[in-house]
Amino acid sequence: MKNDNKWEPKIVTFLCNWCSYAGADLAGVSRLQYPPNIRVIRVPCSGRVNPFYIIKVLQNGIDGVLVSGCHPGDCHYISGNLIARRKFALLKSFLEYIGIEPGRVQFSWVSAAEGGRFVDIIEKVTSDIKKLGPIKKLGKWQKETEHIKEILK
């Protein structure tokens, strides 16, 4: 790190064991470059990702979350990602509704053969979250805003 003052986002990615994790592995084996901002958590299936994980991650000061699974129809467990898709559609819409920036939480499909696509997605997500800046909402470390202090009085 040359410039210590420069803020770099932290992004947690939940990758499914059978497709996206292998996709990330392929990107690495093929020596493709992608931003080093992501932290990978391997899950058995995108359907395993509890919406609470995502909120908890944001609460603990991570700037963005990406959940990635197999393409629809390719799930190792047949329908895990299709059930997850319904959950995430509601979660994303709900988080935006209460005022969390749309780019903070993202979902994608990456297969085990798509190392290139994985790189593209990580680049996109990282640049999206860089644009949004550090997370200021939901966090535990965060002091109550002036607005809230006024109400609590």
Partner 1 sequence: MIEKIKETVKKLFKENKIDIFIGYNEGTLPLRSTPCFITKPEDIEKLVWNSYCSNNLAVYLPRFFVPQQGAKDAKLPRIGILAKGCDGRSIVGLIKEHQIPRENIYIIGIHCGGMIDTKKIKKVDIVAAEEKNDKVLVEDEDKRKVELKKEELLADMCKTCQYTAPVVYDILLGKEKQKTSKEDREAFIKEFEKKPLEERWKYFQEQISKCIRCNACRQACPNCYCKECFADQTKPKWIGPTNDISDVMFYQIGRIFHQAGRCVDCGACVRACPMDVDLRVFTYKLIKDVKEFFEYEAGVSLEENPPLATFKQDDKQEFITEP
Interface positions with partner 1 (CB under 8 A): 51-52, 55-56, 59, 66, 72-73, 79, 82-83, 85-101, 106-109, 117, 120-121, 123-125, 137-140, 142, 144-145, 147-148, 151-152
- Least distance CB 94 / partner 1 (angstroms): 6
Q: For 99, phi and psi rounded to 5 degrees?
A: 110, 20
What are the Cα distances from residue 21, in Å, to 42, 43, 56, 114? Answer: 7, 9, 22, 10
- Least distance CB 3 / partner 1 (angstroms): 28
What are the Cα distances from residue 150, in Å, to 2, 97, 136, 145? Answer: 41, 24, 19, 9
Nearer residue to partner 1 within complex by CB, 2 or 147: 147
- Least distance CB 89 / partner 1 (angstroms): 5
Q: Which amino acid is at 88?
A: F
